[in-house]
A and B are shown apart, each in its own frame.
Chain A
């Protein structure tokens, strides 16, 4: 008897994938830990991470929100001002060093740089350039908002049971003084200065090291915290490397996928969920992408999130009764993604 003879059906492509409708592909992963309605879940990361929080709410799970919008702010305005997009108003955290940077600021290990971008009398936060679409009215207002978000981000780590982080990019822009921006200065706001602003494409070891450090800090802040990593299936809008954007995308995602897999394998409190594979595997024939082959349409998001909860059920059984929950509107266009704005810089 060879080792394959005792393998379950899911181990064989023909049985698990080839002879099935793509919608019947199941048992994609075996979760390490159970997610219950009472577990408070924080979500951060790239654009795709935004779907996670809303999916949790729609299934009666507890999405931890530590930076609440005003009660009377409409759903559209909440989205516009980045409320209820992630657990606090950090904006997109695309890279693992950017996550580490936020954690260092939140714990006081490092100080948020003083840099502020000004345009036409309005003030933009270089580290959250999209949270106030027309900028802040004053530096004082901006600083107050930064302090509130930092505290809310800190609380979202210390008060959550599960931290879901979606890895998005390896390409990043850093200031020569050593800190990172979520978007290239001069795109969404600010002014690009080649003397100060440096492009980097993170390598496997850099991603791994920064994420390990981030996990270490998070566990120090909250020793019971568990982490679920996912990789965004959304391709790059644009690359600053000399590669074709398709090749640059596959390179980035492969690095991120490898790091996520490595950490899920080696760290007890870290798990990986294959949303990247569900959208990008040839088995799914690109069916979950919009015609631009970049944006994931709502059915794709729903399928990913259903798979997530189905895997939970396969391992742990049916979830207990759902909590009452407030509806948060879902639509295919309501994802807040700073990186998408790079598309505007295409010359054609």
Chain B
């Protein structure tokens, strides 16, 4: 299968999983397109409607991370994974931690949150011209040392509501961090942020690590786990495979 991974610095953990001989990369032909922070807000379709293009400043990043491509030719891929492009996802979790808020308020909260994120522009433009399956890996829950403890089911409930109230509108699938990666329901286990790598290295084997105190970005082990989650989701959907280019 030809998979296109689009995102910001959080896709670096998926790329770094490649070096761990993850079986995912043996079974799938994966192309990365990354640009830092909110730069992908500028992603747009070209006149043909079959390519996603970006301003020159962003193109440079796309070229580097993809290994030479400056735009995303939609027909070349069977499925898309949009990664990161969302900030402080853990701030959504407390809304689901008690019966303080009604289900409608919770739905409005997740809808408002996702709509305000870069992910909204990216999956919006992608879905407007492309019928292929879209999967979403939100920016990982921060790996803070002493997180507020809520049951893991609270995080699961947030993901489920996000899917129902927002991602279903795009026929996109939001991936959930497995419980094994969680430290309580609002954080990622610290071990998954140690040795996390920077986006700059995506597109090469020269992966540069974040500072040892990094809590927002995750490492290859986490990337491998999320690729397994993706593989499981991919096995559930019908993907029309493209002919080899």
Contact A72 B102 (CB under 8 A): no
Minimum CB–CB distance from A152 to chain B (whole Å) comes to 10
B146 at the interface (CB under 8 A from A): no
Contacts of A141 in B (CB 8 A): 99, 102-103
Minimum CB–CB distance from B88 to chain A (whole Å) comes to 9
User: Size of chain A's interface in residues, with CB distance under 8 A?
Assistant: 19
Contacts of B47 in A (CB 8 A): none
B127 at the interface (CB under 8 A from A): no
Contact B112 A74 (CB under 8 A): yes
A/B pair count, beta carbons within 8 Å? 54
Minimum CB–CB distance from A122 to chain B (whole Å) comes to 9
B148 at the interface (CB under 8 A from A): no
Contacts of B115 in A (CB 8 A): 74
Contact A145 B116 (CB under 8 A): no
Contact A145 B92 (CB under 8 A): no
Contact B99 A144 (CB under 8 A): yes
Nearest B residue to A135, CB-CB: B104
Contact A73 B108 (CB under 8 A): yes
CB proximity to A under 8 Å, residues B60-104:
91-92, 94-95, 99-104
B106 at the interface (CB under 8 A from A): yes
Q: Which of B101, B106, B116 contacts A74 (CB 8 A)?
A: B116
Main secondary structure of the interface of B (DSSP, over half): helix
Alpha-carbon separation in the docked complex, A80 to B108 (Å): 10
Alpha-carbon separation in the docked complex, A74 to B91 (Å): 14
B109 at the interface (CB under 8 A from A): yes
Contacts of B95 in A (CB 8 A): 70-72
Contact B105 A70 (CB under 8 A): yes
Given contacts A141-B99, A144-B99, contact A72 B109 (CB under 8 A): yes
A81 at the interface (CB under 8 A from B): yes
Given contacts A141-B99, A144-B99, contact A72 B104 (CB under 8 A): no
CB proximity to B under 8 Å, residues A132-187:
132-134, 136-137, 141, 144-145, 148
Taking Cβ atoms with an 8 Å cutoff, the residues of A that contact B are 69-74, 76-77, 80-81, 132-134, 136-137, 141, 144-145, 148
Taking Cβ atoms with an 8 Å cutoff, the residues of B that contact A are 91-92, 94-95, 99-106, 108-110, 112-113, 115-116
What would 14 more interface pairs be, CB under 8 Å, given A70-B92, A70-B95, A72-B95?
Answer: A70-B101, A71-B91, A72-B109, A72-B113, A73-B108, A74-B115, A76-B112, A77-B112, A81-B104, A133-B104, A134-B104, A136-B103, A136-B104, A137-B102
Ordered by A's residue number, 21 sampled pairs between the chains whose C-beta atoms are within 8 Å are: A70-B92, A70-B94, A70-B105, A70-B106, A71-B91, A72-B95, A72-B113, A73-B105, A73-B108, A73-B109, A73-B112, A74-B115, A76-B112, A77-B108, A77-B109, A77-B112, A81-B108, A132-B104, A137-B102, A141-B99, A148-B100
